[in-house]
Structure 1
């Protein structure tokens, strides 16, 4: 059963991150320039206003997160909302580009991709932030989206939304390197574009259908198992959370004729998800 989780109604909610230690869900409203935090214990919601378009985040510790804002990485105190430090990105000269989705791997490296806001050429790239060092890992993307890793941490997944493809890479966790790109899923026969995604403990992918009004679950071999329909069209991302890690948190975006659009939804599953990783600033 689909339930509404958030009071906050976003313009473009994205990047949900559940932190097991804090028992809190974090997400961003890209166009609303907000980071939103909800405590699952006391149900309190908190908003942090950002200076520009904020597209993803990773938790660092109990009081700090790191977020991608426009072209750069910012470390933010979640109690005060103050920026503590900034790590310059590599695309400040590309005014039509901005950061989009991003996640941390098992060793705390922050992988984040960029997108062409005009969607007219593949000017997006995928970067890896390790400590304070940024490295470009992949280029020629249009809208870098949906990241994830399999339970064994030897495969990484990446979505390019307008291309409508879900890629898989062999992943060297120790070195933080990707190679052997393959098309795992082609969305040519699906409704909507693939957007954000997460991976469960069985290695199955859960993918949000932007402009498709649903979440779908896919096997590690790229076969669709089932789908969950939502009461909104713009479904943007999904993550697992809750103390048992068996609850989906689904972000959506606003659509004028849909009263529940822009809310975060929940859905209890029979499957447990993999926990989100924190950023390791000391790597």
Structure 2
């Protein structure tokens, strides 16, 4: 079940890179990015700022989101080139959850360094343009896209709500977000999320030691229990995209176990979607 035993303070941003048959993930508070092939050695890159999420450009390049910018990162030599500033004039925030969309854009959420109320926003970078989509979010999470590419989801973990919004042909929101899943009555905290090939949304639930699947109508289907308490972000991976990798965190735990903060891997009985690529040209 343990894919990588290195403990992250705040593991996040799980991303399967099919060109490299490898998982990429982050320790936001440790300011590190990792990559590991199943059975291989872990590679690590350190950054000056918090880094939290990435989108695949091609085999060798990623879009990486940091506290102050979106940058083009080269896995071959570790070089990085800024593409656009991201709330660089706001010392209160950093980046958080993010994912590439079907149209080749990159969605990225921000969050207050101390989860200040309403300090975060959801942004989209597309063909050189960075646009704020949704402001006044406390803890941005669960950015993911339906298999038909016509809808996006995102969450405010602090409110226990996952929203759904329609997209136009270029991937921009085509209306107002609507509440799609409200977990407040159950006391559950939706964190990172990914949608499988059948349209089911899998969300890591911070503090609940599980990843739960909800069908396309938002109805609870099933859950996978995990040994880490603060699970944070799932990703489908493996050659057939039938394994689920899940990051976790030791943040906020007075007595972390050896499993807390590790990356876990479990078989899934449904395949995921391949990760989309970000267009930089």
| TM exceeding 0.5 | yes
1:63 to 46, 60, 65: 60
Contact preservation (8 Å) 2:124, 2:130:
yes
CA contact (8 A) 1:48 1:78 kept: no
- How many angstroms apart in 2 are the aligned matches of 1:104 and 1:240? 15
Which residues in structure 2 correspond to 1:10-89 (within 5 Å)?
10-40=8-38, 42-83=39-80, 85-89=81-85
The one of 143, 149, 168 equivalent to 1:147 is: 143
Does 199-208 or 93-102 show the bigger shift? Answer: 93-102
TM-score (norm 1): 0.94
Distance in 1, Cα, partners of 2:31 & 2:259: 20
Tell me the distance in 2 between the aligned counterparts of 1:12 and 1:268.
Answer: 23
C-alpha distance in structure 2 between counterparts of 1:175 and 1:4, whole Å = 36
> Is the 2:101–2:171 Cα contact (8 Å) retained in structure 1?
no
State how far apart, in whole Å, the 1-side matches of 2:132 and 2:256 are: 40
Structure 2 SS opposite 1:11:
coil
CA deviation after TM superposition for structure 1 residue 257, in Å: 2.8
The CA deviation string for residues 51-92 of structure 1, in whole angstroms up to 9 with x for no partner, is 110010112122221111102111112122222x10232422
Deviations 1:187-239 (A, max 9, x none): 11334411000001110100001111111000111111111111111000101
Q: Distance in 1 between matches of 2:242 and 2:72?
A: 29
Report the equivalent of 1:115.
Answer: 111
Q: Distance in 2 between matches of 1:128 and 1:242?
A: 28
Counterpart in 2 of 1:241? Answer: 237
Paired residues, number: 278
2:4 to 3, 6, 14: 6
How many angstroms apart in 2 are the aligned matches of 1:189 and 1:281?
42
Aligned to 1:266: 265
Residue 186 to residue 202, structure 1, CA distance change in 2 (3 Å): same
Q: What is the distance in 1 between the residues matched to 2:86 and 2:275?
A: 26
Structure 1 stretch displaced more, 54-63 or 232-241: 54-63
Give SS of 2:235's match. strand
Match of 1:105 among 77, 101, 108: 101
**Structure 1: any 5+ residue segments left out of the alignment?**
none
1:106, distance to aligned residue in structure 2 (A): 1.2
* Aligned match of 1:165: 161
Q: Secondary structure at the match of 1:172?
A: coil
SS at match of 1:36: strand
**CA RMSD between the two structures:** 1.4
Q: CA separation of 1:77/1:151 partners in 2, compared to 1, >3 Å: closer, same or farther? A: same
Q: Secondary structure at the match of 1:189?
A: helix
Report the TM-score, using the length of structure 2 for normalisation. 0.94
Instruction: Structure 2 unaligned segments of length 5 or more: list them.
Output: none
Q: For 1:175 and 1:182, how far apart are their aligned partners in 2?
A: 17
1:124 aligns with 2:123: no
